[in-house]
Amino acid sequence: MPVPEWLRKRREKDVTADDASLWQKCPRCSEMLYRKDLVANLWVCSRCGHHIRMHAYDRVNTLVDGDFVEIGADILPGDPLGWADKRPYPQKLKRDREKSKLSEAVVTGFGTLDGFPVALGVMDFNFRGGTMGTVVGERITNLLEEGRRRRLPCIIFTASGGARMEEGMLALMQMAKTTLALQRFKAEGNLYIAVLTDPTTGGVSASFGFAADLILAEARAAIGFAGRRVIEQTIRQKLPENFQTAEFLLEKGHIDMVLDRRELRPALVRLLDYAVGRQRVAPLKAVPELAVP
């Protein structure tokens, strides 16, 4: 499917560069970081090690070998509930499109990781807090269906505040839709890896976030079902600082690995090698053209 010019441009490295100066402040330690160094360091603060939230296309670009064939970019949100609070939902979407330079909260497509063809989904917190509305559900489902058809491993990077309020129950039902697609995908022996990034909560963590064969998490990412504030309100006390961090989840036995972002790609390649194996890898070009039903 043809990629619009405005999207193609945004695929170039360092998507967020044009709206910022040469320097960027670390949100954690306030260190001024030279932008070029920061990009080279995968948006990890060289002083405190903080993992700055990455733009979805930056993530894609730093993972795939060469081309990334995006699918689902033409799947765009409607306004099923006619939602309007401070401003109408379509206006919020428009603002987030401009602010985030994304068409929705997830980017999906195909590419190779060190030669391994994969179906890749990357969520972005900058678009409506990475919430799952019907477009996120639909794009993820299409990715899993198409990945299954091509017998490819699937890797999804999650970043989400949960289900999207403005699409009501239609948003919640995307948990069911994506899980059904995931079931079929996994049942046919395909590998599914979830990479939980900051933050991953609610309907995303309780569906394709935690229903993975392998669950990795980025260092210090906040991960949980209920949001921190909700829990604090319920129990009426402050939570310990490490609660619901990737490291906490590793200790409790919920996830396979916690990784520094700079170790993530090599780790994914090793895992693909263990589970899928080099010998089974077919070149991406040999796969028939996209024909999603």
Partner 1 sequence: MNVIVEREKGLTELEARIGQLRERGTSGGEMLALEQKVEALRRDLFGTLSAWERVNMARHPKRPIASDYLAALDAFDELHGDRHFRDDPALVGGFAKLRGRNVMVLSQQKGRDTKENIRRNFGMVSPEGYRKASRLMDLAARFHLPIVSFVDTSGADPGIGSEERAQSEAIAGCLMTLTRVAVPVVAAIVGEGGSGGALAIALADHVIMAENAVYSVASPEGCAAILWGDAARAPEAAEHLKLTSNDLLGFGIVDEIAPEPLGGAHRDSAPFIQRVLDGIERALSRLAALPAAELLDTRYRKYRRIGSWRGKGPVRAGGLA
Site residues for partner 1 per CB under 8 A: 72, 74-81, 83, 85, 134-135, 137-138, 141, 163-165, 167-177, 179-184, 187, 202-203, 205-211, 223-226, 230-231, 234-235, 239, 243-244, 249, 252, 254, 292
Q: What are phi and psi of 160, to 5 degrees?
A: -160, 140
Nearest CB to partner 1, comparing residues 229 and 285:
229
User: Closer CB to partner 1, residue 219 or residue 223?
Assistant: 223
Task: Report how far residue 223's alpha carbon sits from residue 255's, in angstroms, rounded to the nearest whole number.
Answer: 11
The smaller minimum CB distance to partner 1, of residues 49 and 80, is found at 80
**Nearest distance, CB of residue 176 and partner 1, angstroms:** 5
| Sheet bearing 214-218, strands edge to edge | 69-71, 106-113, 116-123, 154-160, 192-200, 214-218, 257-259
Phi first, then psi: give them for residue 92, nearest 5 degrees.
-60, -40
Measured from the CB atom, is 126 or 134 closer to partner 1?
134
Distance of closest approach, residue 273 Cβ to partner 1, in angstroms: 26
Q: Which is nearer to partner 1, 113 or 119 (CB)?
A: 119
Q: Residues 175, 211: contact at Cβ < 8 Å?
A: no
Give min distance, CB of 28 to partner 1, in A.
23
Q: Rounded to an integer, what distance in angstroms lies between the CA atom of residue 120 and that of residue 159?
A: 14
Q: Minimum CB separation from partner 1 for residue 111, in Å?
A: 21
48 or 230, CB closer to partner 1? Answer: 230
Q: Which residues of 214-248 are buried (b: 16+ CB within 10 A; e: fewer)?
A: bbbbbbbbbbbbebeeeeeeeeeeeeeeeebbbeb
From the CB of 203, what's the least distance to partner 1, in Å?
5
Side chain identity at residue 293, one-letter code: P
Q: In the bound complex, what is the minimum distance in angstroms from residue 195's beta carbon to partner 1?
A: 15
Ramachandran quadrant class, 152 (left: phi over 0; alpha: psi -120 to 50; beta: rest): beta
Minimum CB separation from partner 1 for residue 160, in Å? 11
CB of 288 to partner 1, least distance (A): 19
User: Of 24 and 201, which has the nearer Cβ to partner 1?
Assistant: 201
Nearer to partner 1, 49 or 90 (CB): 90
Q: E strand or H helix at 151, and its extent?
A: none
- By the 8 A CB rule, do 42 and 62 touch? yes
DSSP-assigned letter for residue 286: G
Burial of 109 (0-12, 13-18, 19+ CB in 10 A): buried
Query: Alpha-carbon distance 178 to 283, whole Å?
Result: 27
Supply 171's token pair. Answer: 């948003």
